[in-house]
Structure 1
Amino acid sequence: MNKLIFLLFFAVTSCTTFSRYSPHNKMESCVEGYYCIVNDSLHLKYETLGGFYFANNLKEYRKIKVKNKPKFKNIIFYGKSNILDTDYYLILNNEIYPKNFYFKETVINNKKITIALNSNTNGTYNKDFILNFRLPK
């Protein structure tokens, strides 16, 4: 019985919602007010708006979004902005599509990458900017 409890505990605690690629994320300043998130393991460069808090693992996620569990699996990174009152996920091989999110997908280096943006995002510019993949200069 003790072995079964231990195995169940290990199975639940060892699973992670963040991708194995997440620890390789690096944040760089692009242009004033913008950030570039670079992940050499995925050959990914993603330009995003400033004013966001970012999480690359569950511990960082809990610090910036205390009450809710992540809505997706295989998260590359998570971003939350109190200024824009929104949050979004960059996800590897997404299979979950809740109705309260906008989605944009692309393939980079034979890997499906999805942006999932909370649909309460204010402003068309903000929505369009976040949902577009750009390769920073």
Structure 2
Amino acid sequence: MGHLDHATFGSLTPVLSFVMVSAGAALGLRRAVRGLGSTGRARRDRPLTAASAIATGIWTVHFVAMLGFAVSGTAIRYDVPLTVLSLLVAVIVVCTGVSAFGCGRDRTRALLVGGPTTGLGVATGAPSTSPATA
């Protein structure tokens, strides 16, 4: 079995991951907050754009972090359809959570439903890899 290297690119991948998730969260939360004060189509569309920014930022953290791993003697390959599917699942589930929070009249209930649902989107949105012997 090969040696697992957690920091193939040094501090580059953790720093890049932090920047990406921060940008996604900031953009997504800004869109979500603006959506609360909107009406009509904007109120419906803003949760989708907010969730897309948040989920993509979170998914990117996982993906960039995975790029920082290496196993000597083993090539790591990405299952492209499964990786894209993981991004779509993250966006859909986070969108459901953000919508539950943004559309609910009862803030406590909306937070109790929207928070865990969004967390589930984070957990299900991790990209997929498979080791292949080199």
Same fold, TM exceeding 0.5?
A: no
Which protein is bigger by CA-based radius of gyration? 2
TM-score (norm: length of structure 2)? 0.24
Q: Which has the higher strand share?
A: 1
Higher relative contact order (Cα pairs below 8 Å, separated by 6+ residues):
2
Q: Which has the higher helix share?
A: 2
TM-score (norm: length of structure 1)? 0.23
